Structure 1
Amino acid sequence: MPDDHDRLVLDRPADAELAARLLAAGRPVAHGFANVYALTARGDAVQRLNVLKGRPCDQVGSLTAATGHVLDAFDLSRLPPGVPPSLVADVVEAFAAIGPFGFRGPAAARLPAGLTAWDGPTRTTQVIVPGDACPSQRFLAAATDAVGGGPLAITSANRSRHVTGDADAPAHWRADALRTELADVADAVVWLEHADEAAARARFPCHTPVSTSILALHRAERVRGRVHLVLERHGSLGADDVARVLASLGMRLTIGPRAAARLAPRSYADDPPSRLVGRPAAR
C-alpha cells in the first residue's frame, strides 16, 4: 500500500474534490464505497470501464449518485399503476439511511444508451448508492458538480469474471488486493481509498461486503391493497432485512428468480471468515 502521504483518502475533503476533478477530466476512480470498493467514471465512459475490467464492451453500466439525486435518474411518470412517486421516494430514503443499496426503475429520457436496458416494454436504469453514512457521498456530489450535473457510471471494483473464468467476481473490500488485481491498468485509475477499511465495514453492520441488493421499482405490483417490490439481486443487505424495511413502509417483498441465492463475499487467505461478513445470509 502507498504511504499515507502519497495516497488520496476518501475521508479527506480535499482528496475527494481532487478525485472528482480527475474523474471529470476522463479518469475512472477506484474508491471506497460503503463497505467495499467501486469504480466510478463519467456517464459517457461505460465502455472504458468495461475494457478496464475485461467485460464485453457493450455491457450496460449502472449509475451512482449522492442520495439527494437518486430520483433524477428515473422517469417517475412511468411507474406501474398504483405506485405513486412519493412511495418510491420513501423507499429510496429508507434504504439509503441504513447503508448501500440499489434500485432499478424506468429510465429518465436524458440518460445515454450505455446506462439503460430494456426489461420487456420498459427502458430501465439501475442506480447504486453507498448509504448516507458513507464519506463517498461527498466525492459523488463533487463529481456530479464537476461533470456539470451529468450521470456517473459505476461498477464493482474487480476484474470481470469474463477474464478470471470464475462463476462470479466478488467486489474487493481491500485496496491493496484491488491494486494487485488491476496492476496492469493501475496507472490509468485514480485511487481514493478508505481511511480505515475495518471502520468502513463496521459502519454498516447489517451489510455484508458484496455488491448491493437491488429492488426493481418498475416491477412493483399492488396486491390486496399493498405494493409488492421485487428483489432482483440478493447482495449486501439480506432479504429478511429488506422485507422488514418495506414492511415499515406498508409494503411487501417478492424474491425474484435471480435473487434466490445471496452473493458471497470475496475471501482473502490472511483474513478469518468472521471478518468478512456482517449478518449471515438469509436462509
Structure 2
Amino acid sequence: MVRNLVLGDAEDARRAAEEVAAGCAVVHGFANFYALTARADRAVVERVNRLKGRPAGQTGCVTTVPAAVPALFDWTRLPAELPRRQVRSLMEELYGLGPFGFRGPAAERLPEHLTAVRDGVPTVQVIAPGRVCPSNAFFAAALERTGAEFLFITSANRSRQLPHWRAEGVAADFGREPETRVLAHADDVAARHGYPHHEPVSTSVVSFHRAAGRGRSGLPALTLERQGSLSADHIRSIAANHGFALALAPGAAPRPQPRVYLPTPGAPRA
C-alpha cells in the first residue's frame, strides 16, 4: 500500500506537486479539513468531477497562493457601491483568519469551464486556505511545476457527502483511486484545533460581483452565497469593520455540521 504523503514535509510537498503536474489529483490537508486539487485543464476538471460523482461539466473552483488571489478577479467590473480597496482589505482579514471563498468578476484570461455567469457578469469562485496553512507551500510547488498561475480545487468528498477532516476518511474514499494521491495533515486533530473559529466543513463563500442592496445599517451589502466553515455572524461583524453589510443569498442552505466518524478501536478520540 502506498503511504500517504505528509503536508508540511517539503519533500512530500514536492512529490505531490509533481503528481499534479503529471495530471493526477491530490487530496490534501487544507486548513482544518481536506480538499482535492489538480491542474485546471478542462479534461482534468471533468475527470475529477466524475470521480466525485457529479456532472463532468460542473464549473470548477480555483485556488492559488495568497499573493496571486487578487489577480484572478477583474476589479474594473466591481459595482460602484463596493470600493475595491475595502473589498481587498476584507479579503486580507478573512484570509488572515483561515479558509474562505470569494466569488467576484472573473479575469478575462480564465477559461469558461472555471467561470459562471451570475447576474450577467462572468464570475470565478476562488477558494483559499488562509495565509498560515502549509498547503500554500504545496500550491507554490505545483504552480511552479505546471507553469500555471492557478489550480482547480474542490472539497474532498463524494457528491452529496460532507467533506473529510481526517486522513483515514479521504484514504478510504480516494486512496485506491488511480491517478490520485493523498497529502495528509501531520496531525488531523491539531489542524482542526488550529482554527477555533472555523468548523471543518467547506468554506463560506461571499460574492462581490454585485451589491445586494443595503443592510439595516445603511452599508452596501455583500452576499453570503454559502454558509460554511466561518459563521455568518462572524463574517458579518468583520464585514462591518470594512464598510459592508452582509445579505444571505436566497435559498442558501443552513451551515452544515462536521462529518462524524465512527470510532476506530484503540484510537484516541478527537
Question: TM-score, with normalisation over the residues of structure 2?
Answer: 0.91
Q: Is this contact kept in 1: 2:174–2:180, CA < 8 A?
A: no
- Partner amino acid, structure 2, of 1:117: A
Look up the match of 2:74: 75
Asked whether 1:199 is paired with 2:198, we answer: no
Say whether residues 1:244 and 2:237 are aligned partners. Answer: yes
Equivalent positions of 1:71-220 (< 5 A) are 71-161=70-160, 169-185=161-177, 187-220=178-211
Superposition deviation, residue 226 in structure 1: 2.5
Match of 1:228 among 221, 229, 244: 221
Among 232, 243, 246, the residue aligned to 1:253: 246
- Secondary structure, counterpart of 2:208 in structure 1: strand
User: Aligned-pair distance for 1:260?
Assistant: 5.1
For the 8 Å contact 2:23–2:179, the answer to whether it is kept is no
Q: Hey, what does 1:25 align to over in structure 2?
A: 22
SS at match of 1:154: strand
User: Is the 2:4–2:181 contact (alpha carbons within 8 Å) kept by the matching residues of 1?
Assistant: no
Instruction: Show the counterpart of 1:7.
Output: 4
The residue correspondences of 1:49-60 to structure 2 (distance < 5 A) are: 49-60=48-59
Structure 2 CA distance for partners of 1:260 and 1:51, relative to 1, 3 Å = closer
- Provide the C-alpha distance between the structure 2 equivalents of 1:203 and 1:265, rounded to a whole number of angstroms: 16
Amino acid at match of 1:99: G
Unaligned segments of structure 2, at least 5 residues: none
- SS of the aligned residue for 2:210 comes to strand
2-side partners of 1:200 and 1:175: how far apart? 11
1:269-280, aligned counterparts within 5 Å? 269-270=262-263
CA drift at 1:131: 1.1
Cα deviation for residue 77 of structure 1 reads 0.7
Does the C-alpha gap of structure 1 residues 258 and 101 become closer, same or farther in structure 2, counting only changes over 3 Å?
Answer: farther
**Once the 2 structures are TM-superposed, how far is the Cα of residue 39 of structure 1 from its aligned partner?**
0.5
Matched residue, 2:260: 267
1:199-247 Cα offsets, whole Å, 9 max, x none, are 1111101000100000011132563862311100000000111011112
Q: Distance in 2 between matches of 1:88 and 1:210?
A: 24
**In 1, Cα distance between equivalents of 2:253 and 2:163:** 19
Distance 1:84 1:215 in 2: 15
One-letter identity of the residue aligned with 2:25? P
Partner-residue secondary structure (3-state), 2:186:
coil
TM-score w.r.t. length of structure 1? 0.87
Stretches of structure 1 that go unaligned for 5 or more consecutive residues are 162-168, 277-283
Cα deviation code 1:254-282 (max 9, x no counterpart): 111233511221111228xxx88xxxxxx
Specify the alignment match of 1:280 in structure 2: none
Aligned residue pairs: how many? 262
- Distance change >3 Å, CA 99–CA 110, structure 1 → 2: same
Which runs of structure 1 show a deviation greater than 3 angstroms over 4 or more consecutive aligned residues?
221-225
User: How far is the alpha carbon of 1:62 from its aligned partner?
Assistant: 0.5
Q: CA deviation at 1:150?
A: 3.2
Q: Distance in 1 between matches of 2:175 and 2:189?
A: 23
Say whether the 8 Å CA contact 1:65–1:129 is kept in structure 2.
Answer: yes
Q: Distance in 1 between matches of 2:224 and 2:80?
A: 19
Q: Evaluate the alpha carbon distance shift between residue 24 and residue 183 of structure 1 in structure 2; reply closer, same or farther with a 3 A threshold.
A: closer
